[in-house]
Amino acid sequence: MSRHLTRWISLLTIVSMAFLAACGGGSEAGGGGMAEEQVLNVGRIKSEPPSLDPLKATDNQSGLVLRHVMEGLTRMGEDGEPKPAMAEEWEVNEDATKVTFHIRENAKWTNGDPVTAEDFEYAWKRVLNPDNGADYAYQLFYLKNGEKFYNGDAKAEDVGVKAVDDKTLEVELEQPTPYFVSLTSFYTLMPVNKSVAEKNEDWAAEAKTYVGNGPFTLDTWKHDQEIVLKKNEDYWNADKVKLAQINLPFIGDATTGYQQYQAGKVDEGDTTIIPADMTKKLLDEGEAKKTKEPAIYFYMFNVEEEPFTNQKIRKAFAMAIDRTSIVENVTEGGQQPASGFVPWGIPDHDQDKEWVDTRDDYLAPKAKPEEAKKLLEEGMKEEGWDKLPSVTIDYNTDEGHKKIAEAIQQMWKKNLDVNVKLQNSEWKVYLEKTKSGDFQIGRLGWLPDYLDPMTFMDMWVTGGGNNDTNYSNEKYDELIKKAKSTADQKERMEAMHEAEDLLMEEMPIAPIYFYTKVYLSKDYVKGVKYLPDASIDYTEAYVTEK
Amino acid sequence: MARYIGQRLILLLVTLWLISTVTFVLMHSIPGDPFSSEKKLPEQTLRALEAKYNLDKPLPQQYVLYMKNLATGDLGISIKTPSRSVNEILSAGFPVSARLGLQAIVIASFAGVIMGMIAAIRQNRPTDYILMVVAVLGLSVPNFVLGPLMQKYLGLEWEIFPIASWGDGFGSEFQYTVLPSIALSFLPLALVTRLMRSSMLDVLGQDYIRTARAKGLPPLKVFSRHTLRNAIIPVVTILGPITINILTGSFVIEKIFSIPGIGKYFVDSISNRDYSVIMGVTIFYSALLVMMNFVVDLLYGLIDPRIKLGAKEGN
Amino acid sequence: MAIPAEKFQRAERKLTEAEAIRRPSLTFWQDVWIRLRKNWLGMGGLVVILLLAFMAIAGPWMTEYTYYQQDLGDGRNLGPSSEHWFGTDDLGRDMFVRTWYGARVSLTIGVVAALIDLVIGVLYGGISGYKGGRTDEIMMRIVDVLWGLPYLLVVILLLVVLGPGLDTIIIALTVTGWLNMARLVRGQVLQLKNQEYVMAARTLGADTKRLMKKHLIPNTMGPILVLLTYTVPNAIFAEAFLSFLGLGVQAPVASWGTMIDDALTVILTDEWWRLFFPTLFLSLTLLAFNAFGDGLRDVLDPKMRK
């Protein structure tokens, strides 16, 4: 999988998504009583988190730590809804352009300072200050004048966030954004202790200068080695926190991680401790479990490179992939053959169902060789080709991507009688190639920014920053524009369904599978929350006697 | 001699300057930059980030800036982990890598020299063949296979040593260093064994050894004064750069055994296009390397007084 | 009894015949060959090398399978059987064919890279050590510079400039591959050039070329051969590393290096054959090269001719 940095922001309600639940997920059931030593060893960090400053953090691993040592105005619940956290309550005005947050009285920093509204104002403006070079500044472009301030067209005072008093934060938005409240659980929007950060710019670099406000404190940070979190007794909800300590050793090699898990040195973890080749075995034996991850793996066709200038040929190639065989025999992590572009786990906000259940299946799970072959022949006739131009699949170096490419190469040989070549590149070289259009077929995994189909659909508009296929369709652009300009969920969802119909007819991309999140957890680990965005929360976790 | 050393030190600086300059040019000419990712950052963010790290300036200007800072010993801030400076990364990680490396080198050189000598003395006898097979295994079983195998048996199943991780930092319990040191020592051990055997055989056939024996010199003296001295030159030559490679950590071993050394930065910095770290580790490594080669050249003179470096051409 | 003088015939003294060598004259290589034949270790090594080379050529033809043909489904991860002699891999491909197909890549790369390293390294190191003084100083500092450069950067640049392919791999392997050899030869020559027999030869009027060819290089042969046998596996693993950068042979062709790389997790599962066979043949190759090298060393060693 890509070393993709995701940013997780939840939208509205989602039906709980944990499936194959069994033990581990939130249930209080299970063997012995509470263990005397409430220490959890977590195998989810592969290497040094780049930064624990909300301003600079951009990746999952930093995010995991930040979610525990810091806390935003809200926290994401297991249902995907924002729950009160630093903010005790909030009011949203009618057209969703103004939100007032009331920060709880007993909210404290680990250095004893009270958490104030000013800390939030300071932190957000700090992210938006262009001099600070925050990668995720755009997460705050929702604020009134946020983007203008960032571009130097407005002053800091004009930005729509204001501490009315110590405990009241007023937020003004650029346009109606009904889901803004759920965005406040994301780490870029977490507060920063103003007096600490102003005194020491590098306050977040070491454990001893770190000041947080989350359920745990950053007790130890041995660089390149491990992070240790301890229970924060001053946390407003400290009664709910049962773990005294969380150890987060950095484990760079999954084979090592799995042996550490077997030896009992690690109690819980994700692919950091699950070697790819063992996933199936562990799932089959019931040792590992999985949850849906709302993300998609797909191949993209460069529509400006022959032969993929032709719609029928693109469709033929997409149809000739046996997705079932790929998830069952190649990736083997319980993934779902992709039936369309928007993955599972993404809600349809109009019908209160999952998006995948309210749309047609555009692609059959198995290959359709006859139809595909016919389409290919038609396409070639349209273009007047006797021989198909040579085709190469590009992928970035990774054993998983290689296996998928090798399997698809064989499927196209078998089902279409087409010989394609494979070419791998180092990650950044690969990015350069795909972003500059120097490819025919490339792979990509896409994770959402927030739980709404839009985070996927707006990718393919003409000239979109991430539209590497060069696909361009006026009708599609219009539909996306329509969905973006309205706050009416029915209208939005309908426009996006229509856009997906079009996308899957034009087929500039071939969806392959929807992701799963596979994890290992010892029986004595309880109360871990697996959130709908595939992130994790240990706030209420505990261990029972072994 | 003093003059030779002086000249050599100047050349050493020139060499380092050349390496850093070429590296600077190389890293800016390969595709990709520190901020490229599959989700493209907005244009204005990219510009702000580039400005922050001076990457918006023309290359020659960046180069001059870097060299100025380098002259003051400042290697800059890592772009990937913005809260850490390159100096910090090196000073935290090097002692760890160096400790492992040192242990590995000690194992490799002592065991290698002894095994090589035994093989030479027992040439074409079973002992010799067994040692050859051992050495070949050392060369052909890569440490990314050997490491996990040792973890599985010595760590997980027989619980003799910890599977991985690094105790409490530098000066940590010795037990954590055992498996990675052994894994690290395998390849140089094999090479030293083979080299030592071969050059021992060369030396044993020499007339001066026979003369020394004929004169009635005790075998131990023949060995220490003549055989070892003459046979060890190729080992010293090869061991020099290998030592530096091992002291600066191994990407594979550090990953497998979760060791907080600097080895992984040699690969990761390039994958991330983390310019300041690339420059930092390269200069650090090269400085050690050229120093080591200098030391090796000086050692030649000590081991074999007939070798005169810096003498006029063609003697 | 007296024998009449006329019974005797005068033997003609032909100068040319007196000088003639009765034994058929042997070139250097004929001589090496004759003596190598008597060295069972060296011969054993040579025979194994030839066998491996033969299998690399013929092996892929010995079964009905191809190196790319997959059997997704029940055909995956099968142990060795009469059907699949070396078992199958995780995409159901026959490991026997893949192993020998991989041998082509790995053996070619190993041998070619080693030879190039040998030629460049010996010439460069020989000249540097022999000339000594300032020339040596400068030549060795160039080696230092090449050594100090981050290899990955060099390779990525090579890849961008030359594009992927077998020739690029070999260039990438030899850019720095010869440095060890050069330093080793230089160190040996520094030591040897002051030895009595070299001085004697020089006094007798031997020129540089002859000194190098007849005295210095042959007496360094031992360490050179050792380093050479070390270069072969180094190149084979470096190729696997280069395929990480997209420089190696392209999938679905696999070299021994990439096969070993990919099969790593079988240490935790039961599919030992995926790791075992490539490692076995790699080890066998090295063993054979080492044995051959040792034999050759004995044969070439001037001191052993006594």
**Residue A259 is encoded by which pair of tokens?**
């042996």
Nearest-Cα distance to chain A for C269, in Å, is: 7
Q: Do B293 and C140 touch (CB under 8 A)?
A: yes
- A16 in any annotated domain: no
- A490 in any annotated domain: yes
Ranking A64-78, A154-168, A513-527, C185-199 by mean pLDDT, the lowest is C185-199
Q: Please state, as a whole number, how many other Cβ atoms lie within 10 Å of the Cβ of residue B158.
A: 9
Q: What pLDDT is stored for residue A2 in this prediction?
A: 35
Q: Residue A161's domain is classified under what CATH number?
A: 3.40.190.10
pLDDT tens-digit readout, A417-452: 999 999 988 899 999 999 899 999 999 999 887 788
> What are A290's strand-pairing partners?
A518
Identify the band that residue A297 occupies on the pLDDT scale cut at 50, 70 and 90.
very high
Same domain for A510 and A532: no
More confident call, C240 vs A291: A291
> Domain boundaries in chain B?
92-275
Per DSSP bridges, beta strands A509-521 and A336-337 are antiparallel
Identify the band that residue A19 occupies on the pLDDT scale cut at 50, 70 and 90.
very low
Token pair 């705050």 is found at A140
Same domain for A308 and A251: no
pLDDT tens-digit readout, A76-116: 988 888 999 999 999 998 878 899 999 999 999 999 999 99
Same domain for A304 and A181: no
pLDDT tens-digit readout, B101-133: 999 999 999 999 999 999 988 888 899 889 988
Identify the band that residue B24 occupies on the pLDDT scale cut at 50, 70 and 90.
very high
Same domain for A429 and A308: yes
Same domain for A124 and A195: yes
Query: Per-residue confidence of chain C (306 residues) as pLDDT tens digits?
Result: 677 877 887 777 666 665 555 666 667 777 778 888 888 888 888 999 999 999 999 888 888 888 888 888 788 888 888 888 888 888 888 889 999 998 998 899 888 999 999 999 999 999 999 888 889 989 999 999 999 999 889 988 888 888 888 888 888 888 888 998 999 999 889 888 888 788 888 888 778 888 887 778 877 888 888 888 888 888 888 887 787 777 777 778 888 888 888 887 777 777 888 888 988 888 888 888 888 888 887 777 666 554
Q: What pLDDT is stored for residue C16 in this prediction?
A: 63
Q: Is-above-0.90 flag for pTM?
A: no
- A437 in any annotated domain: yes
Cα gap B142→C100, rounded to integer Å: 20
Helices B275-303 and B263-271: crossing angle in degrees, nearest 10, is 140
- A501 in any annotated domain: yes
Report whether the peptide linkage leading into residue C278 is cis, meaning its omega lies within 30 degrees of zero: no
Class of domain B92-275: mainly alpha
In percent, the amount of chain B with pLDDT more than 70 equals 96
Residue type, A225: Q
Q: What pLDDT is stored for residue B108 in this prediction?
A: 92
Token pair 């940095």 is found at A5
Nearest-Cα distance to chain B for A57, in Å, is: 9
Q: Phi first, then psi: give them for residue A42, nearest 5 degrees.
A: -110, 130
In this prediction the ipTM stands at: 0.85
Cα gap A123→A129, rounded to integer Å: 10
Residue A10 confidence (pLDDT) above 60: no
Residue A21 confidence (pLDDT) above 70: no
Nearest-Cα distance to chain C for B41, in Å, is: 24
* Helix, strand, or coil (residue B95): helix
Chain C, window 233-292: residues with a beta carbon less than 8 angstroms from a chain B beta carbon: 233, 237, 260-261, 264, 267-268, 275, 279, 282-283, 285-287, 290-291
Q: What pLDDT is stored for residue B172 in this prediction?
A: 55
Of C90, C243, C250, the CB nearest to A421: C250
Of A258, A330, A425, the CB nearest to C268: A258
Q: How far apart are the two ends of chain B, measured CA to CA in Å? A: 16
Q: Per-residue b/e over A366-386, b at no fewer than 16 CB within 10 Å?
A: ebbbeebbebbeebbeeeeee
Report the run of H or E that residue C275 belongs to, with start and end: helix C273-300
pLDDT, averaged across chain A:
89
Contacts of A355 (CB under 8 A, 6+ apart): A342, A344, A346, A347, A348, A453
Same domain for A467 and A413: yes
Same domain for A526 and A514: no
In order of their start, the domains of chain C are 46-68+83-304 (1.10.3720.10)
Cα gap B276→B283, rounded to integer Å: 11
* Across A183-202, average pLDDT: 93
* Across B34-55, average pLDDT: 86
Q: Residue A492's domain is classified under what CATH number?
A: 3.10.105.10
Q: Does C218 touch chain B (CB under 8 A)?
A: no
- Count how many pairs of residues, chain A against chain C, have C-beta atoms within 8 Å: 71
Residue B162 confidence (pLDDT) above 90: no
- Residues in chain C whose Cβ is within 8 Å of chain A: 68-70, 72-73, 76, 90-91, 156, 159-160, 164, 243-246, 250-252, 262, 264-269
Which chains are adjacent to chain A, needing at least 3 Cβ pairs under 8 Å?
A: B, C
| Structural domain range at position A141 | 39-255+522-543
- A91 in any annotated domain: yes
Same domain for A136 and A90: yes
CB-based contact A222:A17 (threshold 8 Å): no
Same domain for A367 and A506: yes
Number of domains in chain A: 2
Nearest-Cα distance to chain A for B59, in Å, is: 20
Q: Do B81 and A260 touch (CB under 8 A)?
A: no
For residue C268, the Cα-to-chain-centroid distance in whole angstroms is 34
Cα gap C170→C190, rounded to integer Å: 30
Of C68, C246, C268, the CB nearest to A278: C268
Q: What pLDDT is stored for residue C227 in this prediction?
A: 86
